[in-house]
Structure 1
């Protein structure tokens, strides 16, 4: 193991410390700076001995990759004092195991992180886990990508996670539920599908555990488990729940998606993702504006949608007109005209 001691100049601004310009991160070992410094150890090879992971583990499917990690972690030597920064080349990514969201890079999020790096010279540490001679990213894939785009020579701040590979996977799940870049329904559904397919390898996960770890509904988890059983070995080859669901239904000769609760939930959550991106919390903060906006959008379908929304909430609804008469069929009801039919909506 080769240990390299690196000293970087620090600038004090208020109560925060900032490292120098990114170009100053290059280290001249023959010219150690004498200014106020913060010293950290950078493990150039990140080699702690013991058994090593397969060189092609990043290409392996989830199950064999998980098996390899479990085998090597048992022989991994413990390190008393871990480095606080590492070179980018020394960080390994195993997205098939630890990346909860879609592996496609969110360009807007990365761009925002690059801006923060340009201003402050650092961002929150990436969470990593040591296994054999490798240091693996378990949370912070977008932060690592931002460092690569900002300055490939810049050392990356890291914080080591201590625990088993199963603990590390659970940590990645929890971290992704807390960060600002929210998981979409499709990402949560795809991850739930992966857990369902590999439930035995992960300790025979129960239905309750699957629901708790993914926040996917009981009905959809039931559908996933049934699909996984009937697809058999093929289920492990399908990464997307949508694709798995389509293939499973096709095999059953079914395509009546309108009356399938799992499909309805998936489509509803896609709409939720789009509405959330566009309007954020405004829909809930201003219910009177939300009601007017949806009335304009839905037109004569407004009562029917309103009834269905209340029924989703667990309420039984009886509709009455302004004179107190019960309305049997909302579609036959002649609605009041909006108070301002020509109002401009912000979309």
Structure 2
């Protein structure tokens, strides 16, 4: 049985799955199961989880708690919507439903879990995972969409149109990703595996001759303190800032009217604001591309 888990990198995960497919074949068991035991379902987060957890911990945690409440007691659970799985040669992998699987695990559910089998290649399964995550209850942010599209450009043979449709990014952006990939690979010392360790933002910077920014010691220390604050905030307010932003914003002003101004002057909030603007720009570009997408011969 394939050993898999979130600790594996994208390169390691793809190698492991492709090795299993070569050894065991790509044909999934017939008939497709409607339910699977927990030990028959594996995670490969680096390959099949397009949405990063950073920056949305409160929302993720509250969503999982809601799912746990819906499941109820682990010995007599109420089943959730089927988890989408894909046959990877020797085991089924979660393509969509990581939160549901976590909720089942936390409730210690031992009975078989409802599943829906996705048929297709590894490339198609990765694209399907992106498409489902773009539309589910906790949709991907722009950064996640761009990084996953960049991943598909690097490791798959999917067409430009397939990547655009799956990740919800602009046609021109995928074209730029292809150009950046080709430019960076002009260096004989650079491999596709090297590029897999780069985010799309860093890859684009490198293609322009700008080294990706690394955390300095002071910045690393700030991040560690921030991670401790995150735990305290999660315990105190959970997802209240997200579901009731107006009241939470007012609470910050009531706490100290200078606080919003101080926060807006920080690098962290400045970066977040710029990413929001970039997201609006990407949405506009995607809308402009939509009408012309099907007539573009370069999409194939």
Q: TM-score, normalised by structure 1?
A: 0.50
Secondary structure at 2:139 match in 1: coil
In the alignment, which residue of structure 1 is the partner of 2:136?
179
CA distance in 2, matches of 1:241, 1:214: 13
Cα distance 1:155–1:67, how it changes in 2: closer, same or farther (>3 A)?
A: closer
Note the 1:226-237 alignment, pairs <5 A: 226-232=179-185, 233=191, 235-237=194-196
Cα distance 1:102–1:72, how it changes in 2: closer, same or farther (>3 A)?
A: farther
Q: CA offsets per residue over residues 49-93 of structure 1, 9 Å max, x none?
A: xxx65x4687351542453354246364633362x3333233111
Cα distance 1:224–1:161, how it changes in 2: closer, same or farther (>3 A)?
A: closer
Shift of 1:230: 2.8
Secondary structure at 2:81 match in 1: coil
CA distance in 1, matches of 2:26, 2:32: 18
In the alignment, which residue of structure 2 is the partner of 1:67?
18
Cα distance 1:240–1:279, how it changes in 2: closer, same or farther (>3 A)?
A: farther
In the alignment, which residue of structure 2 is the partner of 1:225?
178
In the alignment, which residue of structure 2 is the partner of 1:325?
none
Cα distance 1:75–1:209, how it changes in 2: closer, same or farther (>3 A)?
A: closer
Cα distance 1:75–1:208, how it changes in 2: closer, same or farther (>3 A)?
A: closer
Cα distance 1:76–1:214, how it changes in 2: closer, same or farther (>3 A)?
A: closer
Note the 1:234-273 alignment, pairs <5 A: 235-249=194-208, 251-252=209-210
The answer as to 2:70 corresponding to 1:116 is yes
8 Å contact 2:86–2:117 — kept in the other structure?
A: yes
8 Å contact 1:69–1:165 — kept in the other structure?
A: no
In the alignment, which residue of structure 1 is the partner of 2:232?
none
In the alignment, which residue of structure 2 is the partner of 1:331?
none
Cα distance 1:186–1:147, how it changes in 2: closer, same or farther (>3 A)?
A: same
8 Å contact 1:73–1:164 — kept in the other structure?
A: no
Larger RCO: 1 or 2 (CA < 8 Å, sep 6+): 2
Cα distance 1:176–1:80, how it changes in 2: closer, same or farther (>3 A)?
A: same
8 Å contact 2:21–2:89 — kept in the other structure?
A: no
Shift of 1:171: 2.8
Cα distance 1:109–1:219, how it changes in 2: closer, same or farther (>3 A)?
A: same
8 Å contact 2:48–2:126 — kept in the other structure?
A: yes
8 Å contact 2:67–2:100 — kept in the other structure?
A: yes
8 Å contact 1:76–1:131 — kept in the other structure?
A: no
Gaps of 5+ in 2: 186-190, 214-241, 246-276, 288-300
Greater CA radius of gyration, 1 or 2? Answer: 1
2:116 maps to which of 146, 150, 159 = 159
Note the 1:188-337 alignment, pairs <5 A: 188-198=145-155, 202-203=156-157, 205-232=158-185, 233=191, 235-249=194-208, 251-252=209-210
Note the 1:89-168 alignment, pairs <5 A: 89-102=39-52, 106-118=60-72, 121-168=78-125
Cα distance 1:212–1:75, how it changes in 2: closer, same or farther (>3 A)?
A: closer
User: What is the Cα-based RMSD across aligned positions, in Å?
Assistant: 3.8
Q: TM-score, normalised by structure 2?
A: 0.56
Shift of 1:137: 1.3
Note the 1:79-94 alignment, pairs <5 A: 79-80=30-31, 82=33, 84-94=34-44
